[in-house]
Amino acid sequence: MYIQEKVGKRNPFRVPEGYFDNLTAQVMQNLPEQPKRRAKSVFMRPIFYAAASVCALLVAGAVWMWQANDAVSSDSIQAQTAVQPQQQDASSEYMDEAVDYMMLDNHEIYAYLAEN
């Protein structure tokens, strides 16, 4: 091999005298008493996904209600009186169902956050 013939494999690097004798002590001196545990990222916690799901649900519900109201306001008053109660019923029914499905209230969410 050309490189081996030209240069060889000798280690040309040196270290200060006694460097390896003190190395273990030097390394240990620079370490904290206990390993520093890495804080778990918020994205790794189940509560993050639970909270994100609740937020997404609320936003989706709000958008749906806003769109429903918007559609109604562009219709005639007659149509509005006929349709709106039905939509309001549907919205509140939807929210009731969502809350029942999650079976969560604020106290439970706070308690869960406190545990974690």
Stretch that binds another protein, among 24-32, 73-81, 82-90, 93-101 (CB under 8 A): 24-32
Nearest-angstrom CA–CA distance, 45 and 22: 43
Nearer to another protein, 15 or 42 (CB): 15
Nearer to another protein, 21 or 100 (CB): 21
Structure tokens at 32: 């904290």
Give yes or no for residue 114 binding another protein (CB under 8 A): no
Structure tokens at 37: 């545990």
For 40, half-sphere exposure in the C-beta direction (CA atoms, 13 angstrom radius) is 8
Give yes or no for residue 39 binding another protein (CB under 8 A): no
Give yes or no for residue 37 binding another protein (CB under 8 A): yes
Nearer to another protein, 3 or 114 (CB): 3
For 39, half-sphere exposure in the C-beta direction (CA atoms, 13 angstrom radius) is 3
The amino acid occupying position 100 is D
